[in-house]
Structure 1
Amino acid sequence: MKKLLSILIVALLSTQVFAQNTWKVDPYHAKLTFSVTHLGISDVAGLFKKFDVTITTGKADFSDAVFELSTDVASINTEVEMRDDDLRSANFFEVEKYPKMTFKSTSIKKISKNKYKLAGNLTLHGITKPVTMDLWFRGTAENPLNKVTSAGFQLMGSLKRSDFGIGPKFLPSFIGDKVNIRVDSEFIKK
């Protein structure tokens, strides 16, 4: 009987230790933005209006988190309709052929308190490449209005558009090759 009780206690503790929590992006408190240099003298910024992110983690500090992102590339918005239409065309993203951009993390490495390096595979324009970004876990809070627990993150990094075959006809002196990425977001615990 003692042995059976011990096994049950260990099983219960193991379940609690390895319990995975799912967090979904709060679309009202999230923004996926980018910027790129134009003519080497200014930055043009934009965002993707439609995206979904899920985090799965078993630890309160998110040090084992897995991030999964899916973005509707046609939702690109730089506040200039003509430019947005061009970005959706075969000149750049080819959204009819490649409608989604996806990311799935492969590792997360703690750098300092609440600061991480998040690595994963980004698929864009039919090409998958490994990328590493800086992730800041800003903490958790309970919303006093609805009693929902939220977690806040900021993700920053860059990638080369040429690595993904984006805008190959445009020289870096005209449109920069380096694209800066910034994501500010809150996630709701499910």
Structure 2
Amino acid sequence: MKKLTFALLFVALSYSGMAQTVWKMDKAHAQLKFDVTHLGISTVSGAFTDFDATVTAEKPDFSDAKFDFTGQTASVNTGVDKRDEHLKSPDFFDAAKFSTLTFKSTSVKKAGANKYKVTGDLTLHGVTKPVTLDVWYRGTITNPMSKKPGAGFRVTGTIKRSDFGIGSNFPNTVVSDEVNIVADGEFGKE
């Protein structure tokens, strides 16, 4: 009986030592930006202003992290109202029909000191495709205001809008097929 009790205690302690930690995005210190090339000669940048993300990990270096992201397509903002309305239309995001975009990671691989390749399913414009993004874990600190742990990440990558059926009436010579993504965020430990 003592052996069984010890074995159960060992399993319980092992399991509690591997508890996953959830990190919630600090909306005041996060951004999701993108840029495309217009007419092959200029860069047009924009952002989504309404989004949320969480990171879940057991390991303190985030080498086993799971990234979950949800954004509202109607929050697209390029600084030009007329262009933003066009981007929300069926010509591009069709925000009335496809109101959200999501990313859910499926794997993470080490790619250097505090750098990872994160693969996951990106759903955009009603289409889900696997994408791989570069993640830089910028470190963990104790937030001087909240006195809680905070972690920082930068995510970069490139996707093709044609893979998601976005702007199919606009050739690459007008709006580049490649869309560069940059996201930065601070996350607080729950």
Q: TM-score range by the shorter chain?
A: over 0.9
Instruction: Calculate the TM-score normalised by the size of structure 2.
Output: 0.97
Q: Which residue type is aligned with residue 68 of structure 1?
A: D
Q: In the alignment, what sits opposite 2:149? A: 149
Q: Secondary structure at the match of 2:63?
A: coil
Identity %: 53
CA deviation string 1:97-118 (max 9, x = no partner): 0000011000000011100000
Q: Once structures 1 and 2 are overlaid, which stretch shifts more, 86-95 or 10-19?
A: 10-19
Is residue 167 of structure 2 the alignment partner of residue 164 of structure 1?
A: no
Q: Which residue type is aligned with residue 127 of structure 2?
A: I
Q: In the alignment, what sits opposite 1:72? A: 72
Q: What is the RMSD of the two structures over their aligned residues, measured on CA atoms?
A: 1.1
Q: In the alignment, what sits opposite 2:56? A: 56
Aligned counterparts of 1:8 and 1:132: Cα–Cα separation in 2: 40
Q: In the alignment, what sits opposite 2:188? A: 188
Q: CA deviation at 1:148?
A: 1.7
Q: Which residue type is aligned with residue 151 of structure 2?
A: A
Q: Which runs of 4+ in 1 moved over 6 A?
A: none
Q: Which residue type is aligned with residue 28 of structure 1?
A: A
Aligned counterparts of 2:143 and 2:100: Cα–Cα separation in 1: 32
Q: In the alignment, what sits opposite 1:129? A: 129
Aligned counterparts of 2:19 and 2:142: Cα–Cα separation in 1: 21
Which runs of no fewer than 5 residues in structure 1 stay unpaired? none
Q: Once structures 1 and 2 are overlaid, which stretch shifts more, 2-11 or 49-58?
A: 2-11
Q: Name the count of aligned residue pairs.
A: 190
Which runs of no fewer than 5 residues in structure 2 stay unpaired? none
Instruction: Calculate the TM-score normalised by the size of structure 1.
Output: 0.97
Q: In the alignment, what sits opposite 2:7? A: 7
Q: Which residue type is aligned with residue 148 of structure 2?
A: V
CA deviation string 1:50-82 (max 9, x = no partner): 001111111101111111111001000000000
